[in-house]
Amino acid sequence: MKRREAKVMSLKVAEGIVKALEKLGTHIIFGIPGSQTSPFYDALYSSSIRHVLVRHEQMAAYMADAYAKFTGKTGICDGTGGPGATNLLTGIATSWTDSIPVLAFTGQQPLRQIGKGAFQELDHVSIFKPITKWSTQLVRAERAVEIVKEAYRIATWGKPGPVHINLPLDVQLQSLTDDEMQLLEKWPFDLSPPLPAGDPHAIKEAMKLLVSSSRPLIISGGGVHYSGRAWKSLRALAELLEIPVATTLNGRGSFPEDHPLSAGRMGLHAASYNDEVLARADVILAVGCRFASMSTRRWSNVNPNGILIHVDIDPGNIGRNYPAKISIVGDAGKVLKKMMEEAERMKMENQRRREWLEFLNSAKERWRESRWFAESRSGDSSLKPQRVCMEIRRLLNRDAVFTLDAGNNKLWASTFLEIYEPCTWIQSGCFGPMGYALPAAIACKLAGPSRTVVALCGDGGFYMSLHELSTSIQEDAPVIVCIFNDGALGTIKHRQRDSYGGRFISVDLKNPDFASVAESFGCIGLEAKTVSQLRSALKEAIREFKRGSTAVINVYIDGDEPLPP
């Protein structure tokens, strides 16, 4: 009798991994099964974890990335060996660039076959190593549960990022040792990351600079938004000190863009008022921001004479691209709370600050009177992309979630579609892969079933992931898709027009009828060529979405319209 009970209690390594993921609070895994991951999938069969079958592993990695950005939890994805593993790479590189915690599992042939030319054999560990915080392979059952635990810790502690675990087929089928079984039974462990609050002396000195400044500015980056989830503390500090707030592309949503203190999104093709404020700020508090190329107009838009206070959990980010007068290594939320406590003890004279805020308001007015707004209101003729963004914003709730592809569609939206709430701007990041918006939207809808989720795509990007409409239908995850259709790879076409004398090569697309394609997948297909048609299509899409249908709107935009400089 005792022998039978011991046999029932015994778990295979694959089962132990799934049990460990359950204890870590995993609800969803994105991926595609394969022969080398069959034991892992068999363990998922009896698990509480929901597995989402995608149509391409790259989309699984995108979904894991978007899920983590939207929820603040760790995203999980999987692929089998060889091509399944390599298909994950682009999405994992996206998470690596944006510092997003993701666990990626790949299958592998049995250890005894490695090096003999086994089917789909590849050194996955070496391939994933440059784009992960840790890439490892299970080689024995004695370490299976411990490695999952360690992978989660590495992914989430300090500067977050992706981790990769390679699962040889024979190791997955081994039995867990007694020690590993006991490790599972001892769970839960406290794996919440330590949150350093920064050097108190440096924080005090930083607050003296901010309080005495006449033209201060706060820059809020992805470390506030996606990682730190510190938007409440940031807003409280900005309002207390009456300091304008600019955001990076990944920081959008950490501060409402209709707030009087909003200085907008910074970087390439940003609103002109943002550049004016950045060029004049005398003290800059940058939180969770690494001053990457896109947000700094290739390191040209920040006042070189301004004093920089740089806060980041990763000391390697501080002072890398701009010298910092005060460096504070710490968690965004913890540091901002300490700054608030210090600010409340200080006496503040904000008379000079009023001139700064008046300058911000006048700069905003000049922007609203620019030609990009005037031309977008020109009747019911061809659709200017900025007008499309404004109409989408006007008809959707403040908490609607937008997911973005790479390309001009993202740049138009980042400049003309205001973002008001946290985690309602989920973008493909500084790595900039195409095809991200649709799978990201599906992941956000699965994570937040009550939310309205809208994927904003270019026609080129939509081509790369339109097959995931099937995933949306199969997983009952309705979303709204808006295709900015200019019949081209717009970003590159504009570059060839502006920098290469209009010598266009391989940028024009012969598109199908995307509305009909959507219908063939079982979605609602709509199209718009004028403002009135766009409004009608958006209203119908919202109605169908509320009824549980995915709706795709093919929006024919004026592809010749130039982005703001």
Residue ending a domain, among 310, 334, 367, is 367
So what's the pLDDT on residue 117? 85
In the sheet that 216-220 helps form, which strands lie side by side, from edge to edge?
Answer: 262-265, 245-247, 216-220, 283-287, 307-312, 326-329
Tokens standing for residue 173:
């089928």
In a domain, 334, yes or no: yes
Whether residues 16 and 55 fall in one domain: yes
Whether residues 384 and 327 fall in one domain: no
In a domain, 191, yes or no: no
CB count within 10 Å of CB 550 equals 28
- Positions in the chain whose pLDDT score sits under 50: 1-8
Cα-based distances in Å from 171 to 37, 96, 374, 492: 11, 28, 65, 47
So what's the pLDDT on residue 118? 84
Expressed as residue numbers, the domain containing 267 is: 200-367
pLDDT tens digits, 312-357: 999 999 999 999 999 999 999 999 999 999 998 886 666 678 999 9
Question: What angle in degrees, to the nearest 10, is found between the helix axes of 408-416 and 385-395?
Answer: 60
Whether residues 339 and 257 fall in one domain: yes
Cα-based distances in Å from 499 to 444, 494, 495, 496, 503: 38, 8, 6, 5, 9
Give yes or no for a contact between 76 and 66, defined as CB atoms under 8 angstroms apart: no
Whether residues 225 and 332 fall in one domain: yes
- Cα 184 from Cα 109, distance rounded (Å): 26
Residue ending a domain, among 342, 367, 392, is 367
Expressed in angstroms, the distance from the first to the final Cα of the chain is 78
The pTM assigned to this predicted structure is 0.96
Question: What angle in degrees, to the nearest 10, is found between the helix axes of 13-23 and 178-186?
Answer: 10
pLDDT tens digits, 49-94: 999 999 999 999 999 999 999 999 999 999 999 999 999 999 999 9
Whether residues 132 and 263 fall in one domain: no
Whether residues 67 and 123 fall in one domain: yes
- Cα 517 from Cα 512, distance rounded (Å): 8
Whether residues 87 and 38 fall in one domain: yes
Whether residues 378 and 410 fall in one domain: yes
Q: What 3-state class would DSSP assign to 319?
A: coil
Q: Residue with structure tokens 């994570």?
A: 447
Q: Is the dihedral of CA 77, 78, 83, 85 positive or negative?
A: positive
- Cα 317 from Cα 159, distance rounded (Å): 10
Cβ within 8 Å of residue 409, ≥6 positions away: 385, 456, 457, 458, 461, 484, 490
In a domain, 229, yes or no: yes
Residue ending a domain, among 367, 382, 409, is 367
Whether residues 495 and 534 fall in one domain: yes
Q: With residue 458 as reference, give the H or E element that holds it.
A: strand 453-458
In the sheet that 163-168 helps form, which strands lie side by side, from edge to edge?
Answer: 50-53, 28-31, 75-79, 102-108, 163-168, 134-137
Whether residues 63 and 80 fall in one domain: yes
So what's the pLDDT on residue 378? 65
Tokens standing for residue 513:
């009828």
So what's the pLDDT on residue 381? 65
Tokens standing for residue 333:
């939320």
Q: Is the dihedral of CA 112, 116, 122, 125 positive or negative?
A: positive
Q: What DSSP assignment string belongs to 119-181?
A: TT---HHHHHGGGSSEEEE---GGGHHHHHHHHHHHHHSSS---EEEEEEHHHHTSBPPHHHH
In a domain, 563, yes or no: no
Q: 562-565 contacts: CB < 8 A, separation 24 or more?
A: 562/494, 563/269, 563/408, 563/411, 563/412, 563/415, 563/494, 564/269, 564/270, 564/271, 564/272, 564/370, 564/372, 564/415, 565/269
So what's the pLDDT on residue 430? 87
In a domain, 194, yes or no: no
Cα-based distances in Å from 222 to 75, 265, 306, 324: 17, 12, 22, 19
C-alpha closest to that of 245 among 296, 284, 190 = 284
In a domain, 561, yes or no: no
C-alpha closest to that of 43 among 21, 14, 76 = 14
**Residue 259's CATH number:** 3.40.50.1220
Counted domains in the chain: 3
Task: Considering only CA atoms, give the Rg of the chain.
Answer: 25
Query: Number of C-alpha atoms within 13 angstroms, CB side, residue 232?
Result: 3
In a domain, 193, yes or no: no
Cα-based distances in Å from 84 to 61, 64, 227, 355: 11, 15, 28, 58
Q: Residue with structure tokens 């740049």?
A: 411
So what's the pLDDT on residue 99? 97
Whether residues 374 and 363 fall in one domain: no
Whether residues 141 and 247 fall in one domain: no
C-alpha closest to that of 539 among 531, 441, 438 = 531
Mean pLDDT, rounded, of the chain:
94
In a domain, 246, yes or no: yes
Q: With residue 429 as reference, give the H or E element that holds it.
A: none
**Residue 388's CATH number:** 3.40.50.970
